[in-house]
Amino acid sequence: MKLKIMNLLVIVYAVMVAVTVLWILVGSGEGINTDERIPEAASVEFTAATVAAATIEVSEPPVSTVPSLTQPLPDLTEPPETTTTQEEVATMPPFHNNIDPSKPMIALSFDDGPADATLRILDLLEKYNSRATFFVLGERIAGREFILERTVKSGSEVAGHTWTHRNLAHLNEKQIEKELLDTNKKIESVIGTAPSFYRPPFGVFNDKVKNASRNAGLAIVNWSVDAGDWRSRSADCIYDAIINDAHNYAIVISHDLYDFTADAMERVIPELVEKGYQLVTISELMYYCNVELEAGKVYFCGLY
Ligand SMILES: [Zn+2]
């Protein structure tokens, strides 16, 4: 019995010694070096990562996400509120989303059509994602309605150039008004909307013409760059005239009656686009120049 107690005491003593030795080794740090298990580089990385994470949290607080979580989701069953009335939409100029207001733009315009050359010019405009304004003669529309329809469908615009192409300075006010309104009615009967401006034949205007235009509710739009196509009858000269005089916000006049004008446009349109000009309608040009056309007033380009 005594021997058993002695053996038990020896075992207890041995266990106590073992625990003490283990405690000394761990406590002194000689057995497991924590610094060696986390190398210096890793420690630096960890520190930098921690700082970076802290910086991101500070510089990019989740301000944008937190409120959205606390705000109620929009009710998608309700139509969005709009402040634009139907009347305002009807009077807004055509807007094409490929226009960059910060880049140069030019409005090409073609008088005296509709004609066969109109179709060639529309082909070119479409090819280069461009548009123009076509000042048509009322008396030329019958039988060529499809040209006006195609003009509008391709994003270009139609405006009046009087019914008979007479010099308006030679007419009285009532006659002038009739020239303008008959043409506008005919255009409206084809494309569904009446233009708000027109171009007088030969660009001629005086106080009488301006009064009649005001009474008809139409602004007068002339040009700042003359292609001189009816004078030169040369595609090369037309090209030179337009390219040499082209300027930002210009309105260019030429005529879609002639094949030589369409020939010139095969070079003019890609060249202007290459130079960085956006080819827009006169309505678009005025819109981006913040010009609100007034009936009876005369305009030459987007600047004056
Ligand atoms: Zn004309």
Predicted confidence (pLDDT) per residue in 180-223, tens digit: 999 999 999 999 999 999 999 999 999 999 999 999 999 999 99
Q: How far is the CA of 67 from the centre of ligand 1 (A)?
A: 62
276 with 147, same domain: the answer is yes
Task: Please identify which of the residues 111, 112, 229, 256 carries the catalytic annotation.
Answer: 111
Q: Is residue 91 part of a domain?
A: no
pLDDT band per the 50, 70, 90 thresholds, residue 56:
very low
Q: How far is the CA of 163 from the centre of ligand 1 (A)?
A: 11
pLDDT confidence of residue 59 = 30
* 304: nearest Cα among 243, 224, 229, 235: 224
**With 60 as the cut, is the pLDDT of residue 47 above it?**
no
Q: How far is the CA of 130 from the centre of ligand 1 (A)?
A: 23
Q: How many domains does the chain have?
A: 2
Question: Does the annotation count 111 as an active-site position?
Answer: yes
Q: How far is the CA of 204 from the centre of ligand 1 (A)?
A: 10
pLDDT confidence of residue 20 = 47
Q: How far is the CA of 256 from the centre of ligand 1 (A)?
A: 10
Q: How far apart are CA 166 and CA 145, in angstroms?
A: 22
Q: Taking the model in full, what pTM does it have?
A: 0.70
Give start and end residues of each alpha helix (H) in the chain: 2-28, 34-37, 40-59, 65-70, 86-91, 116-127, 145-153, 173-191, 207-216, 229-232, 235-245, 259-274, 282-288
264 with 208, same domain: the answer is yes
Q: Is residue 30 part of a domain?
A: yes
Q: How far is the CA of 261 from the centre of ligand 1 (A)?
A: 14
Helix (H, G, I), strand (E, B) or coil at 115: coil
50 with 138, same domain: the answer is no
Question: Does the annotation count 165 as an active-site position?
Answer: no
Q: Is residue 77 part of a domain?
A: no
Instruction: Annotate 66-104 with b (16+ C-beta within 10 A) or e (fewer).
Output: eeeeeeeeeeeeeeeeeeeeeeeeeeeeeeeeebeeeee
189 with 292, same domain: the answer is yes
Q: How far is the CA of 202 from the centre of ligand 1 (A)?
A: 6
Task: Please identify which of the residues 112, 161, 255, 256 carries the catalytic annotation.
Answer: 255
Q: How far is the CA of 111 from the centre of ligand 1 (A)?
A: 5
54 with 105, same domain: the answer is no
121 with 256, same domain: the answer is yes
Residue 41, domain extent: 2-59
pLDDT band per the 50, 70, 90 thresholds, residue 70:
very low
128 with 201, same domain: the answer is yes
Low-confidence winner among 25-34, 114-123, 197-206 (lowest mean pLDDT): 25-34
Q: Is residue 20 part of a domain?
A: yes
**With 90 as the cut, is the pLDDT of residue 37 above it?**
no
